Chains A and B, each alone.
Chain A
Amino acid sequence: DAMVIQNPRYQVTQFGKPVTLSCSQTLNHNVMYWYQQKSSQAPKLLFHYYDKDFNNEADTPDNFQSRRPNTSFCFLDIRSPGLGDAAMYLCATSGRQGALNYGYTFGSGTRLTVV
């Protein structure tokens, strides 16, 4: 089945130690998104790629970076994780068909713990 896969499902990292979360998709969607969701809060968009074009949200901290080496993969790099970065990180895609009629397709998320 075509899907969005996030690895790992759970990630524990040390305070200040760089960490990378990965997302892959088999949908051939041209847009990929990274959302951060903290407990009982709304998912918050960090950035998205429209094909190779990177779009950063104005309030996304510089500590967060992203790479998209090809259509299928997108990475979220947290350069120096702080305790406040502990959250669920959701990757999503949307397709070239031009409509949001069916919304985004989300991965299962990576829960990041910072110790």
Chain B
Amino acid sequence: DQQVKQNSPSLSVQEGRISILNCDYTNSMFDYFLWYKKYPAEGPTFLISISSIKDKNEDGRFTVFLNKSAKHLSLHIVPSQPGDSAVYFCAASAGETSGSRLTFGEGTQLTVNP
């Protein structure tokens, strides 16, 4: 029972263009969502998050959009850079407090071509 799904295992974009990574969830109790970035041989690192009371959160080149009715969120990277090439994980939790359990998606491998 995969409660968080990233249906695209991979995505390839040209440098300077927009990258859009998608994530769907099924659990209505999820109210906090995060994106992580993972380089090979390293642990995931936090990228950006969004609470269910918002529908958009922006941090520099990264923007996360949340559509609660569709149980869908997306990560936009504009402009994409070769250094953005990594695996991106979507994660969700029911609650924002320390100790909340994160449920992860399978990840999407983003490749940004120079």
Question: Which residues of A are interface residues toward B (Cβ below 8 A)?
Answer: 4, 6, 9, 29-31, 33, 35, 40-45, 48, 50, 90, 92, 94-109
Contact = CB atoms under 8 A, between A and B. Distances in A.
B101 A42 contact: no
A99 B43 contact: no
A101 B96 contact: yes
A62 to B, nearest CB: 20
Interface residues of B, number: 29
B106 A103 contact: no
Interface of B: 2, 4, 9, 32, 34, 36, 41-46, 49, 89, 91, 93, 95-107
B46 A103 contact: yes
Nearest to A53: B99
Contact of B100 (A30, A100, A107): A100
Given A42-B4, A100-B49, A90 B101 contact: no
State the majority secondary structure of interface residues on B.
Answer: loop
B8 to A, nearest CB: 12
Contacts of B104: 35, 42-44
Contacts of B103: 42, 45
B99 A94 contact: yes
A66 to B, nearest CB: 15
Given A40-B9, A100-B98, A103-B102, 5 more contacts: A30-B99, A42-B103, A100-B49, A105-B46, A109-B43
A84 to B, nearest CB: 18
B98 A103 contact: no
A33 B104 CA distance: 13
Contact of A108 (B9, B42, B49): B42
Contacts of B49: 100-103
A98 B97 contact: yes
A48 B102 CA distance: 11
Contact of A100 (B34, B105, B107): B34
Nearest to A10: B41
Contacts of A109: 42-43
A42 B106 contact: yes
B42 A100 contact: no
A4 B100 contact: no
